[in-house]
Amino acid sequence: MSHEREKKVSIILSTFNEELAIEKTIFEIQKHIKNVEIIVVDDNSSDKTFEILSRLSSENVKVFSRKKTKGLASAFLLGLINSNSEIVGWVDSNMTSIVKLFPQMIENLNNSDVVLLSRFIEGGKDERNIIRKWSSYILNKFTKFILRSKINDLSSGIFVMNRKVLLDTLPIASGHGEFMIEFLYNAERKGNIIKELAYTQPIDEEGNSKSYPNIFKFSLLGFFYFVRILQIIIRR
């Protein structure tokens, strides 16, 4: 077992109406990562998500409930503030089948600063419906070109990093999934080594994905991504 695998790891999850998936996701994380704390930020779920989280809450499963504040960026920041591990990771709370890849990701931190899963490198695949698949592909190609980035999947949203990377990426801007683009761009711009590992994006699993399930909301998310890219260009 490598030295990195023995370091404490904090995995941050954000939930909203994930009663069908959250317990399984937490158990899978605990199964695959030896020394882990899980930090869950719930955005006032209307189903039984918080009830389940309250039951699972422990020294190694920290649960926070927010009544007003929303957004993935602020949830990630709240998780960071309350984490105390050398390695920090993030995954959507209904991506249960992806959790088994975390040990491989953590192992690769031996020679990297950030390791993220990628759909758009050799061996990667996106099995979602054609609208979401091609929208993500076009968004990433456009973003990579505009920002002159070497990262192939800037909107992956599944990563682990060494805590020192935070010094290069904070403050984290508000927003939803689009904050990930700026986070990775800043990490890359400051010279951090970013490694991508191929994975297959599954058809949406149980629970409510934070990736906006209907066409209108998905289009709105695309607009937010475009605005964030423009903001990055203006500031650089």
Domain at 83, CATH number: 3.90.550.10
pLDDT tens profile 149-184: 999 999 888 999 999 898 778 777 666 667 888 889
For 29-51, write each residue's pLDDT tens digit.
999 999 999 999 999 999 999 99
Which residues does 144 contact at the CB level (< 8 Å), separation at least 6?
Answer: 150, 151, 152, 154
Q: What's the pLDDT at 125?
A: 95
Supply the range of the domain harboring residue 224.
Answer: 3-235
Q: Look at residues 106, 42, 74, 71 and name the one whose alpha carbon lies nearest to residue 212.
A: 71
pLDDT of residue 103: 96
Number of domains in the chain: 1
Residues of the chain under the 70 pLDDT cut: 1-5, 173-177, 204-226, 228, 232-236
